[in-house]
Structure 1
Amino acid sequence: MHFSLELEQRRQYIQLQETTQVQVLRAHDKLDQVIELIRSLYLPLRHGPEGLRQDSDENMFNGLERLARFKALSITVAGGDLSCENGIAAQVGVRVPLLDGLKLAVSQLKFLGNQEENDSQRVLGTFDATSVWIEWKNYDPESTTLACRFIENRIARLTALLLKNPENPERLQLPASLGYVHDPDSTRFGLVFESPVSTDTLGSRSLYARLQTTLKPSLTTRLDIARRLTTSLKYLHVSRWLHKGLRSDNILFLTPSYTSWTPFCLSGFDYSRPADPDEATELPTDRREHDLYRHPDVQFDVPRDGEYGYEEKHDVYSLGVILMEIGLWQPIHQFLGLSLNQLIPRPAIRRARISLLKAESLTILESEAGARFSEAVRLCLAGDIRQPPGEIRSPGMAEEIDHPAFDSIDCLRKVEEILQGITV
């Protein structure tokens, strides 16, 4: 009994420390503040209560230190003058690569099969004998030199953030970037990621593909995937970084085995950006099935960036759609009765959020994954942890009604608690 109580006290201590540190990290958006936090993370290990300085505590603080370092890198990369802020970050060992050194020679890329001519967003190949995948970002052939430079600068900064680094927090589920290439003949930039396995197909490794080609895994497995995704997005938002392209086809399992569900990583970072409303405007892709994963506020031709662009709540909504797919083990377009063999009508896409939040839809999800899993999905889709079940706000309702009440970290933490509390 005494031993069990001690373990519970240890668990509560670690949970309290992690919650406090994450909140502090989240509230500090200036580089010098984050640097001081990184230094302070050593103190609990050296001066904490006797008997609590165990491996579990050390691992927890090491994880928080890595996240703080990643945030310091994120702030530095998002800043204007890297040379100025690089010196500050270097004080605690945060290495910020020079953007000019991230560009790779496109001639060194070798594509598998005929993928060089493939117009898909993601293709496989090798770079200097290393298995890689490339995520392409096309730009308008009529783009001015200035616009092209702006896009390349943005690609370079994203590459710096995702650059292969063993110190990156594992819970972020990040891919390992090797650099980027510019293919002016095809008017596109490509982010080059290291692939842990060499296969002739990448699409079959996405969650979207597995939803359609593999038998539904156990609820234990589906819960594990859902928990990892939720934690990953929470850490991304704590680092002040938005994904803005969360879909099941952007979740890649890093093994060719259809019976292995870890590890996986988030991909599709081609439109990711710092959570800064002053960033310049950029439009999303025009594939309508992708809009099923987007909040109604940012569907279709709504700019992803700028004052009226993506916010953290839109990432959370996309996570809710993915979690629903995981619970049902079915692509969202199939659940909604939509065919990809024809252009999906805009009204059907606009109604997706309302349809998913209907009591009937949540009841179906509950029958597949349980009531608590269904509640976690509802929290993400509703975008308001105070909104009671069954109350659905239409996209046209005034923003001031729900925006002040929403906090992505609080919402994701609540979703984490729900998912962690489910026992199978």
Structure 2
Amino acid sequence: MRAIVIGAGHNGLIASYYLRKTGFDVIIFDNRLGGMTDTTVIKGVKISRASYVLGLMPRKFVEEFEIPVIQQDPVQTIWLEDRVIPFWRDREKRIKELVNAGEDKFPEFEEKITKFKELLERKFTFVTTPPSEKEVREEAKKIGVEDVMRPSKEFLSKYLSEDLHYSFIYPGMENSPGYLVSYFYNDWSFVKGGMGTVAENIYEKAKKIGVDLINEKIDKILVENDKAVGVKVKDKVYKADVILSTASPAETMRLAEYDHKFFLHKPGWVKYNVILREIPKVCERIKGFLNSIIDFEGGEVVIPSVLDDNRGGVVMEFMGNYDEVMERFKGEILHVDKLNAKNAEEIYNLPAGDLNHLPMREPYLFDGRPEKGWGYKTPINNLYLGGAGTYPGGQVSGIPGYNSARLIILDKLGRDLIT
């Protein structure tokens, strides 16, 4: 049985690997290995051009694909005008630090988030049908953490000072469930050699068991009698028994010539990858924390070269205001690579330049991602979805790819994927 996978990002690669392990003949189509999980070499220096830290990928994937993570400590440092707050990996040390910084309710916050995350992992992570918000809310109530499902701003305000909020959520997510706080609150790590190593390692494993990668973008998903039957690449047609797209749902439905409206708007994010002569000079207060993710009002900054000697030079990567960041992190600049929604749309074939394929807020959460009633399927028979635009959402996790592969195996082979 042949499966065609559209997209060689981490989700497409993970799906391909597990489909092949269960006996499918698998072909991946993409002109860019890794998608947004990539390492780009500029002036001999390796930069993680789009995604830049790993935190949401389940341990079983990290171990299966031998991802060389670099666990910085502290994980994150919040740099405020009146205080510097490191988030240490050790829970007791982290709680003590936050309480000493005046965040008296942080222990309760951490307890609620921990219990909620355990619930998600136990019941709502590896699923073939995404849960509804109501289902998650009801289960959260059973274990006494229902307030995590309140609006994010309301939930955070109950436990943390307001000047810490945007270290836990992105602007625009204030009215979405606090579920998103738990989604992003993780043990983030660097990856040796840049984020492209994630995709490269998964691909090597997939290739060894017989997954084929064709370095081409597809031009069209072929549909006959409401059933996906193959793809067209230039003048060549490739037939398949099942098609899994890990591209954006909007791009997938365009390729299938299926008229469906997604609510997309071009976001205003900007990521800079700056190559420096040497490690930047900073004020004394933050000097000891350059190995961590640094959050301050001007943006979020990482300097992976502090810990990763496989970069070929000094790189500083950040999302935020360029002038404000460079004012605090001083050094001789050798090159600046700027990525925003406009050029990401072109480079990564990303409608509207949304890094998560669809916005991480209502109506695109839980079983509403990408649409109510779809889950990992589409209205077109044999056409499945398994990218960041499906549950649970964006970032580098591999969960959508795995879940969609598992559903295909259930549908086509009548058995579950057991790993």
Q: Structure 1 length normalisation: TM-score?
A: 0.23
Higher helix content, 1 or 2: 1
**Higher relative contact order, chain-length normalized (CA < 8 Å, sep 6+):** 2
TM-score (norm 2): 0.23
Q: Relative to total residues, which structure has the larger strand share, 1 or 2?
A: 2
